[in-house]
Amino acid sequence: MSTKFPEYKNFNLSQINKDILKDWEENKTFEKSLETREGHPSFVFYEGPPSANGMPGIHHVMARALKDIVCRYKTLKGFQVNRKAGWDTHGLPVELGVEKELGITKEDIGTKISVDEYNEACRTNVMKYTREWEDLTSKMGYWVNMEDPYITYDNRYIETLWWLLKQMFEKDLLYKGYTIQPFSPAAGTGLSTHELNQPGCYRDVKDTTAVGMFKVARDEKSEFLYEGIDCDAYFIAWTTTPWTLPSNTALAVGPKVDYVRVRTFNPYTGIPCVVILAKDLFYNFFDKKYEGLELGEYKPGDKRLTFKTLSEHKGTDLEGIRYEQLMPLVKPEGDAFRVILGDFVTTEDGTGIVHIAPTFGADDDRVAKAADISPLILRDKEGKMQPMVDRTGKFFLIEDLDPEFVKNYVNVEAYGEYAGRFVKNAYDPNLTEKDPTLDVDIAVALKKDSLAFKVEKHVHNYPHCWRTDKPVLYYPLDSWFIKTTNVRDRMIELNKTINWKPQSTGEGRFGKWLENLQDWNLSRSRYWGTPLPIWVSEDRTEMKCIGSVAELKAEIEKSIEAGFMTENILADYVEGDNSKANYEKFDLHRPYVDGVFLVSDSGKKLVRELDLIDVWFDSGAMPYAQQHYPFENKEEFDKLFPAQFIAEGVDQTRGWFFTLHAIATMCFDGVAFENIISNGLVLDAKGNKMSKRLGNAVDPFETIEKYGSDPLRWYMITNAQPWDNLKFDLGGVEEVRRKFFGTLYNTYSFFQLYANIDGFNYSDADIKMEERPEIDRWILSLLNSLIKEVEECYEAYEPTRAGRAIQNFVNENLSNWYVRLCRKRYWGGEYDADKISAYQTLYKCLETISILASPIAPFYMDQLFKDLNSVTGRFTEESVHLVDFPKYNEEEIDKALEERMDMAQKISSMSLGLRRKVKIRVRQPLQKIMIPILDESMVPQLEAVKNIILSEINVKEMEFITDTSGVLVKKIKPNFKTLGPKHGKIMKQIAAAIGQMTQEDIVAFEKAGNYAITVNDENVDLTLEDVEIISEDIPGWLVANEGKLTVAMDVNITDELRQEGIAREFINRIQNLRKDSDFDVTDKIKLEIMMHDSINDAVLAHKEYIGSQTLAVSVELVEKLAESEAKAVEIEQGVESFIKIEKVSE
């Protein structure tokens, strides 16, 4: 054990970072933090897997610091906190990265490059930055087990996913359907919302829009719309994509929207007609100017369209009314052309009646399905159902359709006009933007047939494919779904049991999302990902879902017997052997699984569905898959699930948080996590998003290298609540380094300096609390309050508050008050009980801080802990991260003491302020201050801290004035908190009445204890509780006040005081000189002072005092000093002397 506390020449947190890291590695501290907690209750934490195909950024430090803080804290509290790292390895970003690197597109996969080669490239590429990730993890001090991470492409991981999928399959939660999804005909692929949200995808474009006229079918139901008219009635509906009009099969009206029936004329052909539209949008189509005109004043070709409102109807009145197909090119197979209700219909634009083409709009599809309306479907040569537009973006050619279908459903002549036309010119290699579009041609045709009410160009925001720059279509695509809507209510219910930080993300963002939950689209038409383990017969009547490798192996055997396969790719796999080697004998990825054909129970050949599953399923399944459950860890699973804590960015709300929750609900009917922190974004100092492109991204490696990770972590955690966005500013990191770590380091250096001189090693018994001086008991009281507060904050998952409390304690209380006031106790003098108490108290504070702050600043706090413990050996643990969290001692918390020290601080501060006002420096002693006493309890409180105040402000006496003489000028203020509830409305008058009280009134009030006033003929009885009386002034004195406290200062300087002041000036100069001469703190000196009339008396009178303060063995006043060996000093304005100091050897 060392005898000296280590001394540092400089303070380099970056170096400490490296030293401690090395120490942790050598001593296996992380492993020990788990081993020493073996057999303790476990705290379950899940690590959300990052993808290692990109470099880690500064925002990762944020999320990981949060995780680390909680895990380290829980370890201190005695829990065993296993944390397994993981890698997210599948998915589109990986594939796109590889495509870019290899310079290929999706279409090249399987042609220019084999699927096998492609996936191999992905497998390599995805781990490209593994080393950088591991490096950052280590340097930032994030403790997580990187030795044995879970990797989502591992066959064992995939096996668990298959098992989960099979659970869902058997619960009937998997189905295949189609949805309307963004589709890029130019790229021939569907687009994920992620791709659609790339910057610049939504652009303003100018398209031809049309208002179509849908003729109301006249029957019993619609008769009221034909009442009193002599022409046809039409619903009018607007569309920005006229090419979808041939696929119209319904019209939607708003249930609460009011509609009007208007007699007018077709603006293009002048034919009389009646149109129906939303009342609110009436004037968008009819000009107010012509309101008064008679209908008959209109002549065909006129610009001024006359009109007359006939009747009003509710949206609900229109529901169910039938209309004639607008463009009868193809007949639908089922029920269609009916008015339905749509909750999304507004009267913001259009006509308040919405054209529904279920094959080309997501909303359209949804409402049509709900109302049993058929989409307009064609049948192609293979007999497959298709929308009117093929995958290249053109209307199907007649020769590509099933001839039987064409015969029965297609109006060949009418359809032929449009067959083969591209719906956007951009898709047609032969066309430019200048050529007439299909939209225009359709609009023209409608005009000609008197079926268009308005045709115009319109600018709207439309999505474009980020790869081809061409417009996107909404298009029906086949997909596998998980029926999450079946468990929606259960998910909402379970979500209420989760502790979200912040609460609003759980209730609001996540909760609302659950309420509007749609089925989870599981399919991805890609190559690198977990294959869907479903095999289907060609006629789609039979299918099998495979839930394990063993099951697949057995099924392949059957298939070989049936003659569909010749070889079992799983032949070498040994069931029950969970070793890595056994699972590396095969590959569950494409293309290998695609080559597997199975046999159905009735003997049909089964082919695998080519889809991969959504990568979010991979990560959402990590609670089970990281354990290879249920193939391994089946028995102890209740110890591994659910997580007590997870943390990720708020952007994961609909990602990881959702998939974790969904899978846990469906497969285990429980929550996957109990407490969760979702942190906000890390922005640059100006509040902009960081991006490599803009060059404003902060490099975490550089930052840690420069400052060390402690200030970085401390800054990130304490600057703002983690769920608020952080405007990251390196200046803030620097400030934290200086203000918090610098102060703490200074405090330690101070302690170390004197403790080493006195040989303090905490071997003495603890000085009893009651024997310690006031100021020690005070800082210990605060320390215990701090332990309590910090513990509560950590328990509540609020590290920000914990860090701020610690910082405040260190800066304000420990350094700025305790150490400052106690300096003299350490300096010189005997090694007595007071000094021991001082060392023990300061030591205790530093030691406790090192533990309390260790979760946030793991490096420096460990260094501090080790440095302290290296001499005292108070802990057997070698690292702060292995000890137990301190217990606070309620008995040591003394609120009265904290309060009176607070008064002492205020009085000192006011007194120093007064000195400044009259320009009397603190070194000059003054005779006394006076403090008016308003409340008898103040006297003992102030008595107790009297000496602290007097020495702090360099004043000899403190006098209390109880106002019997009436010298105090008092001020009275109403106490709104007590008066408000009692008197309510007349508060203002009461306040005014109190304000007008005279000095005599106040004195009388104080004596009697109550006071009656009359306000608005109402008698109000005031008690002393209802007011606050402070003394404001003492006439003739220099006075300051703050709150209830008032200080009056005697600023007369007697000769005696002046001499003492001069002595202190001397001491100051001598100390400076000692320091300039590089003397050691303990060196003894001989001192000679040159005489000067103004100082001689002072030096003589305080010779002893000067000597004791400057360690001078002799103090001599001399006539003359040679200039070469003496130093000139100015004691006060115009008074100069010379001093000579000389070191004396022992």
Partner RNA sequence: AGUCCUGUAGCUCAGUUGGUUAGAGCACUACACUGAUAAUGUAGGGGUCCGCAGUUCAAAUCUGCGCAGGACUACCA
Closest approach of RNA to the CB of residue 901, in Å: 14
Asked if 175 touches RNA (CB under 7 A), the answer is: no
Asked if 10 touches RNA (CB under 7 A), the answer is: yes
Q: For residues 368 and 360, what is the distance between their CA atoms, to the nearest angstrom?
A: 12
Which CB atom, from 185 or from 732, has the smaller least distance to RNA?
A: 732
Write the interaction track for RNA spanning residues 811-830; mark x where CB under 7 A is met and - where it is not: x---xx--xx--x---x---
Closest approach of RNA to the CB of residue 503, in Å: 8
Asked if 177 touches RNA (CB under 7 A), the answer is: no
Which listed range, 42-50, 529-537, 742-750, 1114-1122, lies at the site for RNA (CB under 7 A)? 742-750
Residues 217-256 that bind RNA (CB under 7 A): 237-241
Asked if 50 touches RNA (CB under 7 A), the answer is: no
Residues 1048-1067 that bind RNA (CB under 7 A): 1064, 1067
Which CB atom, from 55 or from 720, has the smaller least distance to RNA?
A: 720
Helix (H, G, I), strand (E, B) or coil at 274: strand
Q: Do 302 and 489 form a contact (C-beta atoms < 8 A)?
A: no
Closest approach of RNA to the CB of residue 688, in Å: 7
Closest approach of RNA to the CB of residue 801, in Å: 8
The position carrying tokens 């405007």 is 727
- Of 319, 324, 729, 1056, which one interacts with RNA (CB under 7 A)? 729
Q: For residues 820 and 817, what is the distance between their CA atoms, to the nearest angstrom?
A: 5
Q: Provide the sign of the torsion angle of the four alpha carbons 362, 366, 368, 374, taken in this order.
A: positive
Q: How far is CA 1028 from CA 898, 947, 999, 1022, 1043, in A?
A: 22, 28, 14, 11, 10
**Residue 629 phi, psi (nearest 5):** -70, 145
Asked if 758 touches RNA (CB under 7 A), the answer is: no
Task: Identify the active-site residue in 181, 644, 652, 924.
Answer: 652
Closest approach of RNA to the CB of residue 1087, in Å: 12
Which CB atom, from 52 or from 1067, has the smaller least distance to RNA?
A: 1067
Name the strand (E) or helix (H) holding 146: strand 145-151
The CA-based dihedral angle spanning residues 162, 168, 170, 174, taken in that order and rounded to the nearest 10 degrees: -100
Name the strand (E) or helix (H) holding 14: helix 13-27
Annotation says 616 is catalytic: yes
Q: Do 960 and 1031 form a contact (C-beta atoms < 8 A)?
A: no
Closest approach of RNA to the CB of residue 1083, in Å: 7
CB count within 10 Å of CB 923 equals: 15
Which listed range, 142-150, 282-290, 353-361, 524-532, lies at the site for RNA (CB under 7 A)? 353-361
- Of 384, 512, 639, 1120, which one interacts with RNA (CB under 7 A)? 512
Asked if 976 touches RNA (CB under 7 A), the answer is: yes
- Of 344, 832, 999, 1008, which one interacts with RNA (CB under 7 A)? 344
Angle between helices 130-139 and 58-76 (to 10 degrees): 50
Residues 909-948 that bind RNA (CB under 7 A): 909, 912-913, 916, 921-923
The position carrying tokens 């130093």 is 1127
Neighbouring-strand partners of residue 648: 678
The string of DSSP letters for 355-413 reads EE-TTS-HHHHHHHHHTTPPP--EEBTTS-EE-SB-TTSBBPPGGGB-HHHHHHHB-HH
Residues 374-413 that bind RNA (CB under 7 A): none
Which listed range, 53-61, 492-500, 506-514, 1049-1057, lies at the site for RNA (CB under 7 A)? 506-514
Which CB atom, from 167 or from 909, has the smaller least distance to RNA?
A: 909
Task: Identify the active-site residue in 88, 587, 862, 894.
Answer: 88
Asked if 977 touches RNA (CB under 7 A), the answer is: yes
Bond preceding residue 387 cis, omega within 30 of 0: no
- Of 103, 296, 984, 1134, which one interacts with RNA (CB under 7 A)? 984
Asked if 1016 touches RNA (CB under 7 A), the answer is: no
> What does the longest C-alpha to C-alpha distance in the chain come to?
132
Q: Do 709 and 139 form a contact (C-beta atoms < 8 A)?
A: yes
Residues 956-975 that bind RNA (CB under 7 A): 973
Task: Identify the active-site residue in 162, 616, 723, 817.
Answer: 616
Task: Identify the active-site residue in 238, 243, 656, 714.
Answer: 656
Asked if 299 touches RNA (CB under 7 A), the answer is: no
Q: For residues 378 and 386, what is the distance between their CA atoms, to the nearest angstrom?
A: 5
Asked if 750 touches RNA (CB under 7 A), the answer is: yes
Annotation says 87 is catalytic: no
Which CB atom, from 320 or from 508, has the smaller least distance to RNA?
A: 508
Q: How far is CA 1007 from CA 398, 939, 1004, 1011, 1024, in A?
A: 107, 19, 5, 10, 10
Residues 138-157 that bind RNA (CB under 7 A): none
- Of 50, 182, 267, 529, which one interacts with RNA (CB under 7 A)? 182
Residue 222 burial class via C-beta count within 10 angstroms: exposed 0-12, middle 13-18, buried 19 and up: middle
- Of 753, 769, 944, 969, which one interacts with RNA (CB under 7 A)? 753
Closest approach of RNA to the CB of residue 260, in Å: 17
DSSP summary character for residue 969: E
Asked if 496 touches RNA (CB under 7 A), the answer is: no
b/e per residue 766-778 (b: at least 16 CB within 10 A): ebeeeebbebbbb
Q: Do 948 and 775 form a contact (C-beta atoms < 8 A)?
A: yes
Residues 1082-1111 that bind RNA (CB under 7 A): 1083
Q: How many residues bind RNA (CB under 7 A)?
A: 101
Q: Do 245 and 355 form a contact (C-beta atoms < 8 A)?
A: yes
The position carrying tokens 């459950």 is 629
- Of 359, 665, 747, 1046, which one interacts with RNA (CB under 7 A)? 747
Closest by CA to 424, choosing from 212, 244, 175, is 244
Asked if 355 touches RNA (CB under 7 A), the answer is: yes
CA 87 to chain centroid:
21
Annotation says 652 is catalytic: yes
Token output for 221: 């139901």
Closest by CA to 89, choosing from 61, 116, 48, 49, is 49
Closest by CA to 367, choosing from 243, 237, 253, 472, is 253
Q: Do 483 and 175 form a contact (C-beta atoms < 8 A)?
A: yes
Annotation says 692 is catalytic: yes
In 563-647, alpha helices (H): 580-583, 615-620, 622-625, 637-640
Asked if 100 touches RNA (CB under 7 A), the answer is: no
Q: Do 330 and 378 form a contact (C-beta atoms < 8 A)?
A: yes
Which CB atom, from 550 or from 730, has the smaller least distance to RNA?
A: 730
Residues 679-698 that bind RNA (CB under 7 A): 680-681, 687, 689
Task: Identify the active-site residue in 49, 531, 642, 722.
Answer: 49
Residues 187-216 that bind RNA (CB under 7 A): 193, 196-197, 202, 209
Residues 704-723 that bind RNA (CB under 7 A): 719-721, 723
Asked if 474 touches RNA (CB under 7 A), the answer is: yes
Task: Identify the active-site residue in 692, 1075, 1120, 1143.
Answer: 692
- Of 20, 443, 625, 650, which one interacts with RNA (CB under 7 A)? 650
Token output for 675: 């407490």
Which CB atom, from 202 or from 592, has the smaller least distance to RNA?
A: 202
Identify each DSSP E strand in 650-725 by its residue range: 675-679, 682-683
Residues 986-1015 that bind RNA (CB under 7 A): 987-988, 991
Which listed range, 263-271, 422-430, 740-748, 955-963, lies at the site for RNA (CB under 7 A)? 740-748
Task: Identify the active-site residue in 299, 689, 917, 982.
Answer: 689
Token output for 994: 């109190």
Asked if 171 touches RNA (CB under 7 A), the answer is: no
Annotation says 88 is catalytic: yes
- Of 141, 375, 387, 502, which one interacts with RNA (CB under 7 A)? 502
Q: In angstroms, what is the C-alpha Rg of the chain?
A: 42
- Of 184, 208, 626, 653, which one interacts with RNA (CB under 7 A)? 653
Residues classed as catalytic: 49, 88, 616, 652, 656, 689, 692
